[in-house]
Amino acid sequence: MKIQIKNISKSFGNVHANKNIDLEIKSGIHALLGENGAGKSTLVKIISGQFAPDDGQILINELPIQLGSPRESINNGIGLLNQDPLDFFNLSILESFLVGINENSPYRHIKDIRKKISSLLEKYEITIDLDTKTRNLSIGERQQIELLRLLYNGAKLIILDEPTSAFSLDQKKNMFQTLRQLSEEGIIIIFVSHKLDEVFEICDSASILKYGEIVENLVQPFDSNQIFSVMFDQFERTTIDVEHKERTDSFSVNFSDKDLSPQVEISNIYNFAHGTVIGFAGLQGSGNDKFLQDFFNSDKHLSFIRINPSSNVLKNEFYYMPADRLERGLFGEMNLLEHFGLSEASKNNILNWKSIRKHVESKIDEFDIKATPESKMHELSGGNQQRVMLSLMPKEKSILLLEQPTRGLDVNSAHKVWEMILNRKNQDIAVLFSSTDIDEIWEYSDVVISVHGETIIDVSEKNILSKDSIARFVSGLV
């Protein structure tokens, strides 16, 4: 199979996402590299038929395909594995699989289909029960199922958009083994990633996008210094300098017994000064995200946060940012202006759209969002979606609950996100965040809560820990 991308251009209002993209891939695993907002996601959505370009054409085996049609792309053997899985939370894995399956009347042949899916699971060494509810899976496990759906439907060119952002080490190892096997079988892989170590490990060739254009095409062996110099205008990983203010007010985190590991002795109540940054560390698939959700839904859960001894935190005193941006964080079909209008509607019955637009424009500048007030959320890159969610943080003193705040972001974008978060440290009651990246936990936390499975195994101030000890805790080694 061969794909030729010729003169592809796409704009969203005044934002030029792709400009005259020319690319040809005949075989192997090809990486698309670039900062958040460089145009990678727009390009793969055009290839997969989700967007129609303003100009240009795509040829599969020398034949042009109809653009802007997902069905046309699927019929030509193109499959896209999204960063955010496309499935159904309330269905079982099998039921969710059937919704997008390339079969006529699948429920009439459900036994045969189950057998075929089970053989794919066995072939690619994925151990998941097909009757499990999708909501009980990690994002990494859901992506593994999505990859099997693409293979079941006969994909010959598979695009993976930040596929390993939510993978455990074992899942990533399994995924890479599967991708090499697929490449050897003649399937073309387009691999979109910010993780250069993964690109170096698995990819045969690469293209670097910048400001919507391809600025460099490379083949193995890759030169990391060359890639950094081309990708980033200024690549400086400097320490984020935030003036620390001693604060006398405190809050408490109260854990129920069922949330604490029986293997170790841990207190149920911890008191912290206002402004403390608490990192919930855990391996992919652990319950570290769930603790943030539970604090937000404290009326339904036994663990809770208190600002003073007598009362729990009210819902409007939390700002909760989920990891799955377009499932629970934002509305894909709503634009930026409408999101701020919705936020304002929770406070006022009458909306002043002129004032809201002015506020949106100031937030676009403040958070460096590559968008206009009319940009819809599904049109933005993951990094820009993340910045939108951060820009919606309330002005009032709050408790920030941030799930995986830098998931899928490049190094520079992740650094800027943390600048935005830490600049509120002296204003807010607390910042609680979850991460599977121990380096991120180590760099930004004042207190580390280590989660193994569904339970907390350690609560310690960072200054008495080491990174190795956190790794041992989250692995269950106590």
pLDDT of 328: 84
371 within some domain: no
Tell me what percent of the residues of the chain surpass a pLDDT of 90: 32
pLDDT at 45 over 70: yes
User: CB within 8 A of 136, min separation 6: which ones?
Assistant: none
Do residues 260 and 199 both lie within one domain? no
Secondary structure (3-state) at 31: strand
Do residues 100 and 13 both lie within one domain? yes
Residue 16 forms beta bridges with which residues? 11
Respond yes or no on whether the N-terminal peptide bond of residue 405 is cis (omega within 30° of 0).
no
Do residues 184 and 316 both lie within one domain? no
352 within some domain: no
295 within some domain: yes
pLDDT of 402: 94
Domain holding 276: CATH number? 3.40.50.300
pLDDT at 312 over 70: no
Mean pLDDT, the chain, as a whole number?
A: 85
pLDDT of 340: 93
pTM score of the predicted model: 0.63
By DSSP bridging, strand 55-60 and strand 3-12 are antiparallel
Residue 111, number of CB atoms within 10 A of its CB: 8
- 409 or 166, which is more confident: 409
Would the CA dihedral through 439, 413, 36, 231 be positive or negative? negative
pLDDT of 475: 75
282-302 pLDDT per residue, tens: 876 678 888 898 888 865 556
Do residues 307 and 183 both lie within one domain? no
257 within some domain: yes
DSSP 247-312: ---EEEEE--GGGB-TTS---SEEEEETTEEEEEE--TTSSHHHHHHHHHTGGGSS-EEEEETTEE
46-60 pLDDT per residue, tens: 999 999 999 999 999
Question: Which of 190, 128, 127, 201 is closest to 163 using CA atoms?
Answer: 190
Tell me what percent of the residues of the chain surpass a pLDDT of 70: 92
Supply the range of the domain harboring residue 111.
3-231
113-159 pLDDT per residue, tens: 899 889 988 888 888 889 999 888 877 788 888 888 888 888 999 99
pLDDT of 46: 94
Residue that is last in its domain, among 231, 263, 295: 231
By DSSP bridging, strand 213-219 and strand 250-254 are unpaired
- Please return the burial class of 82, using the count of CB atoms within 10 Å of its CB with bins 0-12, 13-18 and 19+: buried
**Planar angle of CA 137, 451, 460, nearest 5 degrees:** 160
239 within some domain: no
By DSSP bridging, strand 311-312 and strand 304-308 are antiparallel
Expressed in percent and rounded to 5, the helix, strand and coil fractions of the chain are: 35, 25, 40
pLDDT of 308: 67
- Please return the burial class of 404, using the count of CB atoms within 10 Å of its CB with bins 0-12, 13-18 and 19+: buried
For residue 476, the Cα-to-chain-centroid distance in whole angstroms is: 25
How many domains would you assign to the chain?
2
By DSSP bridging, strand 447-452 and strand 455-461 are antiparallel
